[in-house]
Structure 1
Amino acid sequence: MSGDMLDFEIISNPAPVSAAERAALLVDPGFGRVFTDHMVTIRYAEGKGWYDARISARAPIPMDPASAVLHYAQEIFEGLKAYRVGDGAVTMFRPAANAARFASSARRMAMPELPPELFVESLRRLVEIDQEWIPEGDGGSLYLRPFMIASEAFLGVRPAREYLYVVIASPAGSYFSGGVRPVTVWVSPDYTRAAPGGTGAAKCGGNYAASLVAQAEAIEAGCDQVVFLDAVERRYVDELGGMNVFFVYDDDTLVTPPLSGTILPGITRDALLTLAAEAGHQVEERPVSFADWRADAASGRLREAFACGTAAVITPIGGVRFPGGDFLVGGGQPGPVTTALQQRLVDIQRGRAADPHGWVSRVL
Structure 2
Amino acid sequence: MNQFQPLVFSGVQPTGNLHLGNYLGAIRKFVALQATNDCIYCVVDMHALTAQLVHEDLKEQTRSIAAAFIASGIDPTKHIVFNQSAVSGHAELAWIFNCVARIGWMNRMTQFKDKAGKDAEKASLGLYAYPSLMAADILLYRATHVPVGDDQKQHLELTRDIAQKFNLDFAAKIRAIGKGIDIKVGDEPVHAYFPMVEPLIDGPAPRVMSLRDGTKKMSKSDASDLSRINLMDDAETIAKKVRKAKTDADGLPSETAGLAGRPEADNLVGIYAALSDKSKADVLADFGGQQFSAFKPALADLAVEVLSPITGEMRRLMDDTAHIDAILKDGGERANARAEVTMKEVRDIVGFL
The TM-score range, normalised by the shorter chain, is: under 0.3
Give the structure with the larger strand fraction: 1
Bigger RCO of structures 1 and 2 (CA < 8 A, at least 6 apart): 2
> What TM-score does the superposition give when structure 2 sets the normalisation length?
0.24
Give the structure with the larger helix fraction: 2
